[in-house]
């Protein structure tokens, strides 16, 4: 049996990977600085993913696992694809993010790092999501649901936002936090 560690607390990532690996250990890494580096969004999300990989390598139990997985997700600003939208810090920031995305399309970037046989392989890709125009009542409902907490862009496609958002191009796994090609490679045994 393959021992796998998903170094993430994300329930969506855990759910996706448990379908492939029921015995996966899902445990986040403490003390990671997720401050976005300067650069294009694909660069930012990949660099944060790599910093998580470096932090995972420092964990004392990392060598107990055959495969280690780290991930990061962020959105491109719909007005400027060079600017990123990360996770809201509070309800006000979440409301601002959702209002900005209302009635618009945006890119959702996910970077995934997979360590096997002592070597990291990285994946970085995006999907395009369109959010229907959100009324004030719907915005309040989404904020009160707390589904925005810990989510890039302030929403969870697999949660309440699922009624208001649709993927226009790309994969659901990318939007939920795992690059689709990484998922394909994991299913095929990382050939």
pLDDT digits (tens, 9 = 90+) for 52-91: 999 999 998 888 899 999 999 999 999 998 889 989 999 9
pLDDT of residue 29: 81
Residue 171: per-residue pLDDT = 96
Q: What is the pLDDT confidence band of residue 101, given thresholds at 50, 70 and 90?
A: very high
21-46 per-position pLDDT tens digit? 888 888 888 767 666 778 899 999 99
5: pLDDT strictly greater than 90: yes
Q: Looking at the chain, how many residues does it have?
A: 191
Q: Please give the pLDDT value at position 9.
A: 86
pLDDT at 49 over 90: yes
Model confidence over 147-179: pLDDT tens digits? Answer: 999 899 999 998 999 999 999 999 999 999 999
The reported pLDDT for the residue numbered 190 is: 54
pLDDT at 191: 45
Domain that holds residue 47: 4-187
Query: What is the C-alpha to C-alpha distance for residues 104 and 165, in angstroms, rounded to an integer?
Result: 10
52 CB-contact burial (10 Å; exposed 0-12 / middle 13-18 / buried 19+): buried
| CATH number of the domain within which 131 lies | 3.90.950.10
The total domain count for the chain is: 1
Is pLDDT of 189 > 50?
yes
**What pLDDT is recorded for position 31?**
66
pTM of the model: 0.91
């Amino acid at each position: 049996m393959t021992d796998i560690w998903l170094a993430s607390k994300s329930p969506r990532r855990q759910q996706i990977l448990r379908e492939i690996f029921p015995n996966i250990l899902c445990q986040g890494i403490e003390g990671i600085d997720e401050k976005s580096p300067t650069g294009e969004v694909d660069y930012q999300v990949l660099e944060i993913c790599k910093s998580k990989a470096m932090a995972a390598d420092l964990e004392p139990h990392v060598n107990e696992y055959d495969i280690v997985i780290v991930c990061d997700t962020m959105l491109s600003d719909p007005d400027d694809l060079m600017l990123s939208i990360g996770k809201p810090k509070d309800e006000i920031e979440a409301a601002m993010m959702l209002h900005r995305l209302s009635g618009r399309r945006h890119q959702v970037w996910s970077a995934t790092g997979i360590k096997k046989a002592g070597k990291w392989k990285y994946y970085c890709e995006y999907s395009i999501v369109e959010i229907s125009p959100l009324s004030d009542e719907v915005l309040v409902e989404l904020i009160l649901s707390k589904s925005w907490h810990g989510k890039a862009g302030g929403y969870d496609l697999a949660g309440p936002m699922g009624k208001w958002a649709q993927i226009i191009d790309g994969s659901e796994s990318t939007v939920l936090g795992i690059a689709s090609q990484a998922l394909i490679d994991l299913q095929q045994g990382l050939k």
